[in-house]
Structure 1
């Protein structure tokens, strides 16, 4: 029952399973035992050990049989029940081969006796204490049978006729010593094998835990939506995560080994602020302007902290950074909106205070002017005309003030954008005096939810400015396209006010007005939406400011791209209407 329990295996041995691996190891152990036996047999012949012809033949036939059983065992490994049938067969075969070798090489004086210990050792390693005890017991029994057989052979030949019973006692003593040694080896080997297996399992578990922890750390760092890099004590980059590659446009290989200031100029100053021991107040976060190799200009929010080693010593720094360009734009737009609102309120109050006196001045001058030639001389008439003209211009300017400061709420409808673009280009055709090529692009079925009159005002204003920027002629392109709103973490919070955030989580329509004119410098581009800022000789500086307010009131955005000598493009972004054109 113990033998069956020891070698009981599943009905089918899966390749790569522990039972399969154990069977393979046993076959190799048997092969090693056979090779060692052959080597010893050849050594006995070489050193001139006296063996009879039958003993020599018995040794070599035993070795041949051992190689044969190795082949059989290797073939058995391919079977479905390899472990179940192979393991007991192999151990029994090994004990039988060792016993045969001992018998044919001198019996109790044989040099092959130590092979019993070898069989017991690998039985202990492969099967534990129970396997060691079974192997030791089988070896003890086989060795005892061999001793009795050789003793009886000697008695039959008369070799012990004069020795009485003493040789039997000596034989039993030899057997007892060998049996005790085998069991002792079995116990010690099984104990050591058990400890080795336990240590191996603990080591495998630790290695598996370490691998899972390493994989978790790797996945966590790679999943961060922030750039992360590590530095050595000299400020040289030692590691770079994928988000850092995306933000900076630099690969891991191109960044590692570079000083931090070469990758992110100005970041090295944060490393010193991360060290309170230097007597400086730590800077939790800083914003740095950053220009990528592809020319894109970004703003980065950068923070640094000390990287500690295993013993708590300072081993470098960890730098975390995010692309906060959209946040900077949001803050800039918010400041602009606050300024525009303040200016608008002031303009409204001033306009009301100025408009009534202007009406009185204009009326009075017109009455004087209508008094007749005998009353008004030519010079006075000319001056009166100037006063009337300028009061009318001032009144128009005040009207623009009021329109800007208190725009009427948009009466939103579903508007087909391409139709409005075509209307604007048709109206512009009558005002063009130079060689201007106009083009309208985009699908016919895109709708926005907007006030039609205000949308026409915006497009007319942008297109008129584009024509004025091309005094020698050029190309004017008006286009409409559908785009997905930016769903990034920062952009999700980006909106003109809280009520508009939901709109910017949906699809948007991009309406573009692009010219091939003179373009604008970055300084001008930063101020074009400010009220009263203008580059025209007779401009009021309220046209683009009004465009901005209308875009804002529709829950949209207005963007500008421009470069001196390469033209300008304005992009109006409005929420897409849900209804489709039928």
Structure 2
């Protein structure tokens, strides 16, 4: 009616104010009187119930204390026997404790624990083995896993030598209690000369979850006429009784059970991690200890509680009593209800209460719905963020190994396992880590979490299909107020592509460094070769000139020819150095590799020591290869000499094979050089020995310049082989095993057609070519230009020599038409040969020019091509080669 009036705007009607006030006053007074009377009656009943509860609890506590005292008195009786006679036998000990076992319900074992010094250990163990011949006897310790092992040497021991009953307690026999959980209590009992009771712990002979306590009494034997004086007593050991906590306290509290209250036994002296709760006994029936409530729960659920102490063996136990709700209900009567003033007032009160509660419930429901919607929105946002993250987000507990409690959907792509498999434990995180990385991941994770640092570790994972991935795990520990780790939260992402890119970058860097090293060594080798070639030009030229000026049959002719031969061999060494540097210029022709090896056979047999056997396994015919025959001979010779050195003077075999194969591109992946060659037809050369072989470390260095395992070696042979193979666009592979031998395998691209037989060049008689004219010789090396000038004179030329480019240009400019030929050294200080040639051509375009150099031709003729004839001759050169080049220029 009131609401309707407010909505329609009509004035509201009301009863007279006194009437309404009277009704309200009557209702309020009635309710107030009913409440006061009800509370007063209930309070009286409560006081009466508490008084009755305290009386019953005190009586029960006195009975419990009396039962426990009987246990300690019985144990004192056993200890007095050992105080009088420490030589009791096992049988006497068994008879002394047999009756006590029946009387003391809950006792698990009686034990005699003597004090044994390290000097007496062996004697006692021997004596006890005679007492226990079938099972043996020795002092033992137990590790954290409950496994027994022989006790290490100690200054003294507390071994269990007698235990009754034996059945079920065999594991305790020989147990050295100095290192046991009860060890500190034994020492305390010895110091105090009194009974000591241990805290609860798991017994070594217990295979279940039952805990036990031990009552320990020290035994002192009187040492003189006044045994009552402690100073005269001699400590001999301990008598102890082992109890199951539940059975002990069940016996102590079971007599005359009272249904009015529940009992909770608490070890008030316990220090963490020892448990405080000892035994829980409801009023109506016994309950397993693992169902016992905590002390706080026990007190929280009770209307009131009372705690009584039990002092036993230097330990304080508390027995907490709480009334049963059923018993409290029996203490209430119907008197308070009779004092309720008015049913109507009570109904009005209840109606108002329901109205208030209903409004409150609506408010709570609305607030819960709002909070639920906010939580759902928060979860949706979290799910979207996790979905957008790369890899797998996780939350896990950690105790040396991760146990996931949450894993995002990215787990499937990262690990091949669903989040459910990871969270349920069907697949353990440790199983996914590569075995070689498990220890490192564990150590780095533990160190970071202990230091309260973020965890960041890279490792490999191995999926079930064998795929190996690199992942990066980043996480952070969540700790409680005490600093203990609660959970670890983080993300794991796949970094396999990044790792591969990094490896590719490192490979490119290594290749670049190798290339730079080869370029540097190439410059060094080229410079050395150039200087040697200049020296050899002078040596070879002067020897040839001397031999040509002497009459035939002169006694020194053999010596001069030896000088020429040595010079030519030295020139071969220079070409080998240029080949290593990749700057050599080869005379490319069609070569039959089998014929080439056969042609070298006499030289190879001389190179092989007598203890070695040289074997040829040549395939004929084989397709030809386009190569420089001299360089291929150098490869064969270097590899054979290397094989002979590997035999180290011992008997063995050196085998040379040739063949023809169709090679797949993948076979070149393990090559030392030529890894990127295409597949196709290749001619194969193999040199194998049965020598000492090479380790993996040596194998990785054999192609480094100047690396050698021989005392007198130069370390250039295999490096030169690699350079020659690279210049011929070939591939080289090496296989070696220590004490078994080494195999070098060379691949050269085959060409179609019949192989060409390589035959030794036969010198033919030749007539000395003659010509006339004036020749200008420009070379910075005095000895070289002198040799060239003298050789030119043997052909009929007149010569003029100059030591550098500018001087040569001035001499040519003085009379350009006078000169028939200009000989120019390409490499001179200041103005080089190419610049000098350009300046001379600017004066006279058609002049013939012969370029000489200690380097290979290297395309110089293409660069200086012009109207006049130009030739090139590499130093050092023989007179015949010089003559041939002159013939070409003047034909």
TM-score (norm 2): 0.27
TM-score (norm 1): 0.38
Please state which structure has a larger fraction of its residues in helix.
Answer: 1
Larger Rg belongs to: 2
Please state which structure has a larger fraction of its residues in strand.
Answer: 2
Structure with greater contact order relative to length (CA < 8 Å, sep ≥ 6): 1
